[in-house]
Structure formats: C-alpha cells, structure tokens
Amino acid sequence: MKSAKAEAHGQTPAGHEPQPRMVTVLIMGKRHTVPEHATIMRAIEYAGHQIIRGAGCREGFCGACGTIYRLPGDYKIHTGLACTTLVKEGMSLTQVPAVPMEKAIYDLEKLTPDVTTIQQLYPVVFRCVACNTCSKACPQGLKTMDYIQAAMRGDIAMIMDLSFDCVACGLCALRCPAEIVQHKVGILGRRLYGRYLSKHSQHLDDRIDEMHAGKFDAEYATLMSMAKDELSKLYYARDIEA
Amino acid sequence: MYPEYMAGSLKAVEATRAKRLELAKSGQPVFTPMTAEERQDVLNKFHPDYAPGALRTVRIGPNKGEELTTEVTEILEAHSMVEPKLMDIHLTKPDYETDLLIIGGGGAGCWAAIEAARNGVKSMIATKLRMGDANTMMSEGGMQAAVAPADSPTRHYLDAIGGGHFENKPELVKILTEDGPEVVRELEKLGVIWDKMDDGSMQVLHGGGTSRKRMVSCRDYIGAIIMRTLMDEVKNHPDMITVREFEPAVELLLDEKGHCCGAVLYSLDTEQFLTVRAKSTIITSGGFGRLHIRGFATTNHYGATGDGLVMAYRAGAKLKFMDSVQYHPTGAVFPEQIAGFLITEKIRGAGGQPVNKNGELFVFPREPRDVSSAAIIRECTERGMGIDTGASRTGIWLDSPIIDMLHGEGYTRHHFPAMVRQFGQFGIDIVKDPMLIFPSLHYQNGGVEIDGQCQTNIPGLFVAGEASGGVHGRNRLMGNSVLDYNVFGRRAGKIASEFSKTSKIGKPNLDHVVRYAKEMSDAGVESDLVAPVILPSYTPEDVKLQQLARLGNTPARHSMLRSRISRGDHK
Ligand SMILES: Cc1cc2nc3c(=O)[nH]c(=O)nc-3n(C[C@H](O)[C@H](O)[C@H](O)COP(=O)(O)OP(=O)(O)OC[C@H]3O[C@@H](n4cnc5c(N)ncnc54)[C@H](O)[C@@H]3O)c2cc1C
Ligand code: FES
C-alpha cells in the first residue's frame, strides 16, 4: 500500500504510456515517419539504416554525428549533433560522414605558446573575416569565432578556455567562408596551454621523486604479502578523509 | 522539464535539502556507510550479477566449464565471420605488414602506438570506427592518482583492492597505483589541462571507494581532453604510426608455433576481409556495454561490443572475472532520449546526494559502485521509493542543487559543463533541479587475463585497458579505468614494441578458427549468432526481419544484420 504522503505527492504518472506521436522527416531527401521524441540518430535507425559513419559515443562527446538540416519555411541551414538533437516535423537532414582537412604536423616540444606558432602551423586563421558563422554553426554553443580571434592575437589561454568543450565535429570548418579549421586550432591551443602555461605542481614532482627513491616499496611489499582477511581488516578500518 | 506529476516529489527533495546541506557541512558521512555484511546482503539480493539467469556455463574454449555472464557466453559460443578456406591467398600474401598491430584506437591503443614510436618501432592502429570513437572519449569524472600530500600510492592500492573485494591481481594493482603520479605528469607534457588549485597543485576530489581525495580531472571532459590530445599526438607521427579506421579486427592470426602474428580485419566501408601480419599484437578494443546485458541501457560508445574477448578466446587466451559486470549507479533515466547516459560520479564527489521520492537519503553517496547500484535498485524495487518516469522506468533523485550551496554559486556550471548542457537541452537546469537516475551498464570489470607485462597466455599477444582482466577484480572503482588505460596502454606499447624487435614469426594461419568451430559442434553447441558483434543494431524488429531476407546475397554471415543485440534501450 502506498503511504498517504506518497499519494499526496502524486508520484505515479497519470494513465498509461501514450503511443508516441509521429512526425515526418526527410533523411537524405527521402521521406520517413519517425517518433516525435526521437533524436536524429534514433530516427535514422528507426527508418532502418545501420549507421556506420555518423555515430560514435552516441552521447554528445565525440563529434562523429555532425548533421545539417533545414526546416520548412526557413531558409537557414541548421547544424546539430544527431545523437542529442531531436527531430522536428518536416526536418530535412543529412549526416556529414567525414570532414576533409589537413592537420598540421608538429613537435609540441619545439613550439612556443604564442602567435608565432599559430602563424607557422595555421596561417589560414588570419583569413578570418569575423562573420561569426562558425559560432552559429557550433552544436556545443561555443564562441568559436572568439577563440579564432584569440588565436590571431596569440592568446593561448583564451583559445584553451573557449574551445575546452569542443567535440571536433568540424561543422564550423565546413561552414567557414574563410576555410579555417577551427577545431584543429582549438586542440593546438589546448595542448600548448597544458604543456607550457598551466601552473606547475610542486606536490606532483615531490611525489614522483618519492616514488623513484623507493619510499613506498616496503609498504607495498607488506600489503602484497597479506592474506585476504588481514587485508580486509585493514581496509574496513582505514580512515576516510572528509 | 519535469512533468507535473513529479512536482510533489521535487518539493520533498527541496524540503529536506537544508537539513542535508547541514549534514554535508558537518564533515561526517551524510549516511552511515555499510558494513561488509550489509554490502554482501544488498549485493546478493539486488545486484543484477546475482539475479537468476545472469550467468551461464561456457561449454567450449579455455574457460570451458566456468560460469560467465550469459551474454558473454553467448558471444563466445558463436560462429566466426570468416571462412578460413577462403582466406588462403591473404594468409600467404598479407594485405598489410607491420611491426606492431594495435587493435582499437581508444586511449590504451593510442598510448601503445606513441610508446612504440618512442621506442623506434612502427605500428598500425586498426580501429572499428574513427580514432577516438571510444569509451575513452566519454569519461567525465576523472582519474585516480595518488598525488596529494595526504595520500599515498599504497593507500590507493588498499582502496583499489578493497573495492575489488580482494580478488584483484596484486601485481597489477601495484603497477596501476605506482604509475599514477607519473601518468599525470606524462599527460601534462603532452598538453593535457588538469584542474589545479591557485598555487598550481593538482585539484583532487573523492570518488566512490576512495579513502583520500584522489580524483584528478579536466572539468567534466577528462575523456575528451585526454583522447584528443593522444589522437593529435598519434597523428603527429605519420611516418611511425599507420591508422586504419573503419577496419575492425575480427580474428587473430597464429603461426605454426601458436604465436600470435596479426589479425584479420573487416573493412566496414568495402566489406573486404584484410590480413595484417605483425611481429606482435596488442588488443586495446575496450569493453562490452553495447551487448545490453540483462536488457540494461548503457553509457558505452557504439562500438563497445566485447570483440577483443571473442577474438582472443577463439585463439586460446584465457579470460578472467568475466562473471561480473559494472553498472554505474547514476545513469540518466529521464528524459527518455538520454536514458542510460552517464552522470559522472564526480557529482557525488562534489557533494551531490542520491535521495528517494520523499527526499530522504538511503545510502552513503560514495559506496563502491556495485554496492551503490544494488542499493538504488533496492530503493526502486523492494522499497518502492522510486519515481516512475512514465516510460516504464523508475529512478531516484540525484540532488545536484546542493553542490552550489556547498561550493558557491557558479561551481556546477564551471565544473560540470557537459552535464549542464545535456540536461539543459531538455529544459532541466541541474543547478536548480535534481536529476533522475538509475544504474546503467557501464564497464567490463574482467577481460582477457594479463600479467604485469600485459602478456596473455598466447606468445606475442598483449592486452591493455578495458579489454584486459585482473587489475580491478570484480569491481572497478571510479577513476581507476582512466588510470588503467594510461598505465597499461603505455606499458603494453613499451613491452610489445621491444618484443617485436626480436620476435620471429612464421606463416599466419586460421587453424584455430577451424578447431574452435569443431569444438563447438562436438559439444553440441547450436547458435545462430556470429561474433564479434561489431555494432549493435537499433533497427526496429520488423524492419530487421525484412532485412534478413537479404542474407542470401550479403557477404559471409554479415554480423550486424544478424545481430540479435538490440535489447535494452534503443538509443
Ligand atoms: C560514459 C563513460 C564515462 C566514463 N567515466 C570514467 C571516469 O570518469 N573515470 C574512469 O576512470 N573511467 C571512466 N570510464 C571508463 C573508461 O573511460 C574506459 O574504461 C576506458 O577509457 C577504456 O579505454 P580503452 O582504451 O581500454 O578502451 P576504449 O577507449 O573503449 O577504446 C577501444 C577502441 O577499440 C575499438 N574497437 C572495438 N572493437 C574493435 C575491433 N574489433 N577492432 C578494432 N577496434 C575495435 C573501439 O571502437 C574503440 O575505439 C567511463 C566510461 C564511459 C563509457
Ligand atoms: S555520436 Fe558522439 S557526439 Fe554524437
């Protein structure tokens, strides 16, 4: 029996699961009827496709599923990640199986975290016309253009911060009228920051020195020679940092 | 947006929040942690591994007679994709030759290639989807490494082995915990951006089962940051590392002496089988979430179908701890579109609390994962204290608004941008409202058994990362698998590339595949399943049946079309 309290909260959904309402979408030009609450990815699968190129993590991290679409009565080209964007009535869509581009090859150890590196590796950045098309195309809602502008100034920390959440779907690069490869500039900026600009941790060095000096060897030996029940006792008695 | 009928329960959560906040600030555990007996009891009664039908005895192969997770037994007792007879020419004249073959382009695979290159050995990464389409890309919370002064690697050892119920291979746990600090530094050298305190020291947080704050992080994108860094580095060495995408391995190759000498790849683009002859081989193909064990939704990437287990097993490698599955306590259950998605444990590390429909705490927020999951299932089933999602799922609340109250306004948005974004898309602001959660199929605790050199019982075959078994026992703690693929990926790369320098391999053959098929029929095993599974199929059943009519003229036993792996959610 449910408690009176639970009843009062009304914690059960009213009635049964409704049948999903359906919408019509055009997948690569072909009409399909799919559930209204489907993501683009599920809609494509519902239509019977086995996705090979165009799905990776399925949760919005990998950028494998870049999709472009149009909506009825709307001239705009929209962009989104198929795994997290919901379908809409009349949506006309296609996934982008790959984004052709050249990555600069470099030795991180030989770079400096400043504008000369950008000039050397991605001179195309300086073609930016500040149209903001890249930011509008970003399915993550990043300020892509701002980090490209930061790259032109050699502001590596800003590239790092603004591109941190980039999933490298490459939709920005496909839409850019100046043919910049924004997401590649992003990863370069982040690596430069991590390698050269991030504050140094003394504790980390100390710990590694201790390890090399064999400080924990004896303790390891003791732990590893313990029988299960001894180890278990020690484990359940260990103090836990708040 | 939460539906109207949940409003009452949401109010209840709000009503108890002030009290719970006070508790959290007191420095005492907010709920009494379970004793060893209580843990065992809740596991026995509620953990999916202990449910009837969860295990099935495997009738063939190196682990014959052992009980393994049912779905694993099914893919082991399955047919090969290749017809060995038809592969002769390609065995005599391999399509590719390399010093080191790496199967799987996730974190472990990339590290192996980078270390091999540093050791002057050329390698080839053959991977299923694109590079980095991998579980590694998705990790959010963090990595354990004993870097804090209050911590020590031996404490880390004790936590890891206790979390694994004292069954882990001690040698592997020692390597894992000892290498942690070094891995942090190596990653930073490659450009990984760690969360740090103002003075530059590493920020550390708690995770389930940690006795010291030990979780290092990159906001909640640790996976994406590390994976993209490693991929970028791999691609900086085109002369040393060849990458083949959309070419998953489907069988290993052995030579006359039974040494591993490469693999058969299957091109998803052209549907060709291609052979690679290699002086040594590392399997880094990750886990098995997409098998949807016991019908659970999963946090894993699309290609996580346990292929490494199948290939290695057919070639004679022993598996370890393949009777246990990790369910992550906090998978999303609402809205339905994100059912199964991971909600990082760091949310609880930062103070987020699991509470029932009346807003009451019912479990210590940082129990080991198996215990937490079992406790949540108990709350939703036996105790009836869950919240119905309206889509045949039940969940409990994970109270996130309390985090900003503990750490200051803006903390959640800065530290959990991925979570904020994911729920934000559906009109749920996790700074103001809690999330609805239920355990989700997350991690392959066991795998192909390895020793401290990442070697299997087959000479020339190495395994690293989630595909391997031994280091975590039957329960891996949060943060230890990111550490695992870094530590053992590097190690496997160093050791296998060294092995390649002197190894002499003979002519590759697929005799083991023929033998395995015979063993299967001798044992009377009947199956219509072809494995490795490669990709799950989320096509509706009726459509799939119509597709199967085409089988007669599809390439040999095309596994994806025949895949029965479509249970669970359809995400
Ligand atoms: C959502 C999520 C969040 C996580 N969060 C954390 C966390 O916070 N902390 C933590 O410690 N751990 C976490 N984990 C676990 C951790 O990320 C993984 O266990 C780890 O990254 C595995 O690394 P790997 O290199 O072994 O495998 P993966 O990164 O999965 O790489 C395996 C690669 O092999 C490929 N492959 C598969 N089959 C084949 C084949 N037949 N042939 C060729 N290639 C193949 C795959 O496509 C993939 O690219 C998380 C996992 C997930 C899914
Ligand atoms: S599939 Fe990875 S972002 Fe969509």
B535–A50 CB contact, under 8 Å:
yes
DSSP track, B182-241: HHHHHHHHTT----B-TTSPBP-B--TT-SS--EE-BTB-HHHHHHHHHHHHHHT-TTTE
Give CA–CA dist B228/A166, Å, rounded: 10
What mean pLDDT, rounded, does chain A reach? 92
Which ligand has the nearest atom to the CA of B304? 1
Ligand 2 pocket, mutate which of A53, A57, A138, A142 (most atoms under 8 A from CB): A57
Confidence of residue A16 (pLDDT cuts 50, 70, 90): very low
Nearest residue to B303 via CA among B16, B509, B40, B563: B563
Tokens of A222: 């003791």
A13:B390 CB<8 A: yes
Domain boundaries, chain A: 18-95, 108-197, 203-236
Q: Is B27 exposed, middle or buried (0-12, 13-18, 19+ CB in 10 A)?
A: exposed
Q: Give the ligand with the smallest distance to the CA of A54.
A: 2
What is the reported pLDDT for B527? 86
Instruction: Supply the pLDDT for residue B333.
Output: 92
CA distance A100 to B362: 52
Report how far residue B465's alpha carbon sits from residue B443's, in angstroms, rounded to the nearest whole number.
11
For residue A93, pLDDT beyond 90: yes
Tokens read off for B502? 């002197």
Query: Which tokens go with B447?
Result: 């795998």
Quote the CA–CA distance of A26 and A44 in Å, as a whole number: 10
The CATH fold of domain B4-50+327-441: Flavocytochrome C3; Chain A, domain 1 (3.90.700)
Q: How far apart are CA B260 and CA B498, in angstroms?
A: 15
End-to-end CA distance of chain A: 39
Q: Beta-strand (E) ranges in B300-428?
A: 319-320, 326-332, 353-355, 387-388, 394-399
> What number of C-beta contacts closer than 8 Å exist between A and B?
262
Burial class (CB in 10 A: 0-12, 13-18, 19+), B474: buried
Model confidence at A92, in pLDDT bands (50, 70, 90)?
very high
Using DSSP, state whether B324 is helix, strand or coil.
coil
Q: Each residue of B389-439: pLDDT tens digit?
A: 887 889 999 999 999 999 999 999 999 988 998 899 889 999 999 999 999
For residue A19, is pLDDT > 90? Answer: no
Q: What is the ipTM of this complex?
A: 0.92
Nearest CA to ligand 2 atom 1: A58
The pTM of this model reads: 0.94
The reply to whether ligand 2 has any atom less than 6 angstroms from the CB of A42 is no
CA distance B188 to chain A (A): 6
Span A95-110, pLDDT tens digits? 999 999 999 999 999 9
A61 in contact with chain B, both atoms CB, cutoff 8 A: yes
For chain A, the helix, strand and coil percentages under 3-state DSSP, each to the nearest 5 = 40, 10, 45
Ligand approaching nearest to the C-alpha of B248: 1
Give the C-alpha separation, B310 to B319, whole Å. Answer: 10
Q: Are strands B55-57 and A92-95 parallel, antiparallel or unpaired?
A: unpaired
CATH of B97-324+445-502, picked from 3.50.50.60, 3.40.50.2300, 3.30.420.40, 3.30.9.10, is: 3.50.50.60
Instruction: Report how far residue B77's alpha carbon sits from residue B24's, in angstroms, rounded to the nearest whole number.
Output: 50
Predicted pLDDT of residue B315:
98
Would an 8 Å CB–CB cutoff place A219 in contact with chain B? yes
Joined tokens for residue A16: 């049964």
What pLDDT score was predicted for residue B47? 96
Interface of A with B in 25-44 (CB under 8 A): 37-39, 41-42
Are A193 and B191 within 8 A, CB to CB? yes
By C-alpha distance, the chain A residue nearest B224 is A61
Q: How far is CA A136 from the centre of its chain?
A: 17
Angle between helices B480-502 and B107-118 (to 10 degrees): 40
User: Mind telling me how many Å the CA of B561 is from chain A's nearest CA?
Assistant: 8
pLDDT at A151 over 60: yes
What's the pLDDT at B368? 83
The CATH code for residues A18-95 is 3.10.20.30
Residue A14 has pLDDT above 60, yes or no: no
Cβ pair B311, B249 in contact under 8 A = yes
pLDDT score of B548: 63
Q: Is B91 helix (H, G, I), strand (E, B) or coil?
A: helix
Which SS3 state, helix, strand or coil, does residue A21 take? coil
What is the rounded CA–CA span in Å between residue B367 and residue B341? 20
Residue A183 has pLDDT above 70, yes or no: yes
Distance B400 CA to ligand 2 centre (A): 25
CA gyration radius, chain A: 26
A62 lines ligand 2 (CB under 6 A): yes
A102 vs A184: CA distance, rounded Å = 9
Contact yes or no for B5 and A48 at CB 8 A? no
User: Percentage of chain A surpassing pLDDT 70?
Assistant: 92
State whether B36 and A202 contact (CB < 8 Å): no
pLDDT mean over A56-60: 95
Report the alpha-carbon distance of residue A239 to residue A232 in Å, rounded: 14
Residue A8 has pLDDT above 80, yes or no: no
* pLDDT 10s digits, B30-64: 999 999 899 999 999 999 999 999 999 999 999 99
Give yes or no: B348 in active site: yes
- Are B569 and A76 contacting, i.e. CB atoms less than 8 angstroms apart? no
Closest CA to B442 of B332, B532, B570: B332
All residue ranges of chain B with pLDDT < 70 are 545-571
Which residue from B243, B225, B251 is spatially nearest to B107, judged by alpha carbons? Answer: B225
* Type of residue at A181: V
pLDDT tens readout for residues A122-131? 999 999 999 9
Closest ligand 1 atom number to CA of residue B248: 42
Q: Which of B137, B174, B193 sits opposite A193 (nearest CB)?
A: B193
Tell me how close the Cα of A177 comes to any Cα of chain B, in angstroms: 25
CA distances from residue A61 to A42, A56, A169, B125, B277 in whole angstroms, order as listed: 17, 9, 9, 22, 34
Domains of chain B, by residue range, sit at 4-50+327-441, 97-324+445-502, 537-571
* pLDDT the model gives residue A10: 36
Residue A51 corresponds to which amino acid?
I
Q: Do β-strands B241-244 and B123-126 pair in parallel, antiparallel, or remain unpaired?
A: parallel
pLDDT tens digits, one per residue of B111-142: 999 999 999 999 999 999 999 999 999 998 89
Helix-strand-coil percent breakdown of chain B, rounded to 5? 40, 15, 45
| Closest of B339, B333, B329, B347 to residue B430, by C-alpha | B347
B132 touches chain A (CB under 8 A): yes
Q: Collect all residues of chain A within an 8 Å Cβ-Cβ radius of residue B384.
A: 2
Question: Mind telling me how many Å the CA of A145 is from chain B's nearest CA?
Answer: 20
The two tokens of residue A127 are 């073609």
B460 contacts B281 by C-beta, under 8 angstroms: yes
CA of A122 to the centre of ligand 2 (A): 26
pLDDT value of residue B560:
52
Q: Is the peptide bond before B532 cis (omega within 30 degrees of 0)?
A: yes
Instruction: Answer yes or no: is the C-beta of A51 below 6 A from any ligand 2 atom.
Output: no
Q: What is the pLDDT of residue B539?
A: 81
A183 contacts in B (CB within 8 Å)?
none
H/E stretch holding B99 reads strand B96-103
Whether B337 and chain A come into contact, CB under 8 Å, resolves to yes
Q: Quick check: B161 contacting A, CB < 8 Å?
A: yes
Please tell me the distance between residue B231's alpha carbon and the centre of ligand 1 in angstroms.
14
Question: Residue by residue, what is the 3-state secondary structure of A126-146?
Answer: HHCCCCCHHHHHCCCCCCHHH
Q: What is the 3-state secondary structure (H, E, C) of B494-551?
A: HHHHHHHHHCCCCCCECHHHHHHHHHHHHCCCCCCCECCCCCCCCCCHHHHHHHHCCH
* Type of residue numbered B310: V
Q: Options 1.10.1060.10, 3.40.50.970, 1.10.10.10, 3.40.190.10; which CATH number does A108-197 get?
A: 1.10.1060.10
B50 vs A4: which has the higher pLDDT: B50
| Residue spans of beta strands (DSSP E) within B239-361 | 241-244, 249-254, 260-266, 273-283, 319-320, 326-332, 353-355
